[in-house]
Structures are given as structure tokens and as C-alpha cells.
Amino acid sequence: MTPLLRREFLRQAGLSAAVLPFISGLPSLALAAPARPRQRLIVVFSPNGTIPPAFWPDQVGRDFQLKEILSPLTPYRDRLLTLQGLSNKVRGDGDGHMRGMSCLLTGIELLPGNIMGGSGVPAGWASGISIDQEIKTFFQSQASTRTRFGSLEFGVGVQDRADPWTRMSYAGSGQPVAPISDPYQMHAKLYGQMKDRENLRSVLDPLKADLAKVRSIISAEDRRTLEQHEVLVRQLEREITQGPGQTLRVTPPDLERGIADQNDNVPRLSRMQIDLLVNSFVNDMARVATLQYTKSVGGARMNWLDITDGHHGLSHEPDTDEAAQKKLIKINTWFAGEVRYLADKLAATPEPGGEGTSMLDHTLIVWTNELGKGNSHTLDNIPFVLLGGGFGFEMGRALKFDKVPHNRLHLALAHGAGHRLETFGKRDLCSGGPLALS
């Protein structure tokens, strides 16, 4: 946030800049059981399409078998929903990857722009808000669902550049939301203010000693000013020791130090980010999150899987290249393993005030991808796997649709969150209304 925006924000929030660090949104221990069960949404993204035969269950309905890529999620089979047959039908400017990525959560065309892809017409940012941000805004509009951040955007190995291939979240037309790839930066965003408060508290005693010393050497006429100053410091002390929101439900995770944002650290970065994500949810800092692995056309080299080729390059190999297919299955299975880790953490975390339920019962994970299949660049059969609870969907099913616009899934997500939108994204692609998933 630029200084000006920050000031503007503080002004609108009616808070002084100094008080904010101590109060804003740090949840109190007394997080009462909510009137209505808490709901959370996590969108997980992995790039470059999947290998359909190793991904989609052959069966439809409740009786289905998980294929190799989804096998890490076997313990959650009854809490899964696989949605085959959803299509990203948004057309217009930009190549398949760009539209795959920037229309994935927005369901609306890209603006004209200066970014030229491998083919097609150059394009710019998406021209509308993404569903995660739409639901965040909805949650933030009501006191009962409002949190300090509303949403958090995590990245893992996202390149440090901004274009339609690297952004899926949009706060509005032409307003991409950048994911934070550096766990230390995310940690500072989540907990820096608490550290500030601790640091301030630790200097109050010597500060009072400095003031007392100065008071003793200045003239009687000036002493009044100093005494007023001392009163202010005592007030500050009371505010930071007795003010609201002093305690977190859980302490911040201790991050391993010095993990650089590099290709080979992706597995460790992934776990650090997931730990931070779940931790932030327990402390109720946000109800919506995205977790973006690399980017569309992401070329991570998964040396930790003994795969030395870049992911994107591999994804272009034909179906007949068995070696490449094997590697791609391995890569996608690894992503499923990270989703599993996330689900495990949520399942192992009791829902605060939730009467014996787990956090996973109140959280829906949506794992998706910008392409149906890497080598064809198809925007049909976009991988959508839903896991968890909270949105009232009937889980434990494999569903198949026939090229249904994915906008209708977004409508179902909005409705599941209690936000009864008529349309989302491109209006023409919403006919039929929300997908019936419950």
C-alpha cells in the first residue's frame, strides 16, 4: 500500500495510525461461538493442465474410484466432489493460457492490452472481479463475517512479474491482486503488528527513565510540558497492555529461517505457506484464501521428484510420450499431496467454538487449474476438485457435466456462502443459474 493509500485507509477507518497496530482485527480470545456456522473458502491453483485419464474418476455418482493423481486424497473420498465437464467459455483477447488463468476465477473477458501471448490478440488484465474477492467483499460487508484481512493471497514460487499469466485474483476490472510468495513477508503482514507492540512495550521502561532524567534537569516552567508528555507515555502503556485484542488464539508458527524464494525450495515454501494459512484462519484473520502454485505456463523444475524438465515444457509433450505423461502424473500427484497436507491440517484443527467439529468441516477447498489438458490448451474440462465442508454441498460424489460454463460453479460458490448473486462474470455464461451441488 502506498503511504497515501494507507493514510486514506486509516482515515476512512477512523483510526489513528498509531492505534491501529495494536487493535485492528487482532482477534480476541473471547471469540464467541458464531450465530451461524463459520464458512471459509480456499482456492488452490496448480498450472499447465492435468492428465485427464489419470485424474477424472471413470464412474459418476457416489460410487467412484479415485485415480492415480487424486490418490493422495483417498482418506477424504467421502468429502470430495469432482466436477468434470466444466468449461471456461470466455473468449476474446489473449491466448489460451492467459484466458485460462485470468478468466478462471473471474469468468469474464480480458481488457485489451499490450501483452502478446504465443498466439492470438494481445490483451491486458481481466475486466471483472474474481469469485474469491467477490465472496471476501460479501463477508466483509457484514459485521458477523468481517475479519481483519477478509482474504489472504498466498503464492508458492510465483515469479516476480505481473501479467495475465500470473494473476487469477482480481479486486475489480483491471485490478489484479498479487499473491505473496515470500512466507516471511506473509508472516510480517499477519503478525508484524503484534511484534511492533511487543517491541514498543519493551522500551517503555527506559523511555520513562529518559523522560524522568530530562524532567529533573529542565526549568520549572518547562516541566509542565514534560509532565504532560509523561502522562501520554503512561496512557500508551495502558493501551498496549490492556487494550482489546491482546491475545491470539494460537501463536504464530515459527518459520524456519533463511528459506529463499527459489525453485528447489518450493516443497518447503509450500508447507510454510500452508502452515501460515491455517494459522491465520484459526486466528480468524480471514475467511477466504488463495494458494497459487507458480503460474500459468509455470516452468518449475521439480528436482525433488527427480524431474529435471520444466513443468510447462513437459506439458506440451504429446499423449504418446509416455515418459512425459508419467512425469506429469507425478507432478500433479505431488500437487494433490499438498492439498492433502492442507486438508489434514484443517481436519486436525478443532473449529473454534465449533462444538467438536473440525476446521475442515467449515472450510471448502477448491483445487483448480487454468487448462483442461496441457498439450491441447483446451479450456474444456477444467479440473475442479472440491474438498471439505461449509458450503452445504453434497460431497462424496463424482459429477460429470457437458461443457457447462464454469461461471455457474462460481454462482454456486456465492450462493453457498449466502451471497445470492443472479449472475457472475459474463452474464451470457450464467444461464441455468448456480450449479446444483447440494
Partner 1 sequence: MPRIPSFLLLAAAPLTGAALLGLAACTLEPTAKITSGEHLYRQKCADCHGARGEGVADKYKESLVGDWSLPRLARYIEKNMPDDHPGTLAPRESEAVAAYVFETFYSPAAQARLHPARVELAHLTNRQYAVTVADLIRSLAPPTAEEGPSDAPPGLTATYFSVAQRGRFDPAKVTHRGTAAAVDFVFPENGELRARLALPPLDRPPTPNSREPAGFSAQWRGTVFADETGDHEFIIRTPNSVRVWINAEPDLRSGSEPTLDINVSTPKDPDHRVTLRLLGGRAYPIAIDYWALPEKTGSPVVPAIALRWKPPHGSERPIPTRNLSGGQATPTFVVSTRFPADDSSQGYERSISVSKAWDEATTSAAFEIVNHVIKRLDRLAGIRPNDPARAQKLAAFAEKFAGAAFRRPLTPEETQRNVTDLLRDAPDAETGVRRVMLLALKSPHFIYTELPARESDATRTATRLALALWDSAPDAELARAATTGRLRTREEVSAQAARLLSDPRARAKVREFFQHWLQLRYLEDLGKDTQLFPDFTPAIIDDLRASLGVFVDTAVWSERSDFRELLRADYLFANARLAKFYGLPAPTGVATPDEFARITAPAGQRSGVLTHPYLLAALSYKATSSPIHRGVFLTRSIVGRALKPPPEAQAFDETSFEHGMTMREKVTKLTRSENCQGCHAVINPLGFSLENFDAVGRYRTEDAGRAIDAASDYADDDHASVRLAGARDVAEFAIASEHANRAFIEQLFHHLIKQSPRAYGPDTLARLRDSFIASGYNLRSLMADIATLAALPGTAPTTLAVTSPPHSP
Binding site for partner 1 (CB under 8 A): 2-4, 6-7, 16-19, 21, 111-116, 118-119, 122, 124-125, 161-164, 174, 176, 195-196, 199-200, 202-203, 206-207, 209-211, 214, 217-219, 221-222, 225-226, 228-229, 232-233, 235-236, 316
CB of 196 to partner 1, least distance (A): 6
CB of 106 to partner 1, least distance (A): 15
Cell 505473496 identifies what position? 180
CB of 105 to partner 1, least distance (A): 17
| Nearest residue (CB) to partner 1, 196 versus 422 | 196
Nearest to 390 by CA among 411, 355, 417: 417
| Nearest residue (CB) to partner 1, 48 versus 87 | 48
CB of 220 to partner 1, least distance (A): 11
Cβ(143)–Cβ(125) under 8 Å? no
CB of 199 to partner 1, least distance (A): 5
| Nearest residue (CB) to partner 1, 98 versus 395 | 98
CB of 94 to partner 1, least distance (A): 11
CA dist 426 and 419 (Å) reads 17
| Nearest residue (CB) to partner 1, 120 versus 354 | 120
| Nearest residue (CB) to partner 1, 58 versus 221 | 221
* Secondary structure (H, E, C), the chain: CCHHHHHHHHHHHCCCCCCHHHHCCCCCCCCCCCCCCCCEEEEEECCCCECHHHCCCCCCECCCCCCCCCHHHHHHHHHEEEEEEEECCCCCCCCHHHHHHHCCCCCCCEEEEEECCCCCCCEEEECCCCHHHHHHHHHHCCCCCCCCCEEEEEEECCCCCCCCCCCCCEEECCEECCCECCHHHHHHHHHHHHHHHHHHHHHHHHHHHHHHHHHHHCCHHHHHHHHHHHHHHHHHHHHHHHCCCCCCCCCCCCCCCCCCCCHHHHHHHHHHHHHHHHHHHHCCCEEEEEEEECCCCCCCECHHHCCCCEHHHHHCCCCCCHHHHHHHHHHHHHHHHHHHHHHHHHHHCECCCCCCCEHHHHEEEEEECCCCECCCCECCCCCEEEEECCCCCCCCEEEEEEEEECHHHHHHHHHHCCCCCCCCCCHHHHCCCCCCCC
| Nearest residue (CB) to partner 1, 123 versus 336 | 123
| Nearest residue (CB) to partner 1, 111 versus 435 | 111
CB of 24 to partner 1, least distance (A): 13
| Nearest residue (CB) to partner 1, 21 versus 34 | 21
Report the DSSP beta bridge partners of residue 220. Answer: none
CA dist 143 and 159 (Å) reads 36
CB of 112 to partner 1, least distance (A): 6
CA dist 162 and 369 (Å) reads 18
CB of 20 to partner 1, least distance (A): 8
| Nearest residue (CB) to partner 1, 210 versus 256 | 210
CB of 234 to partner 1, least distance (A): 11
| Nearest residue (CB) to partner 1, 63 versus 160 | 160
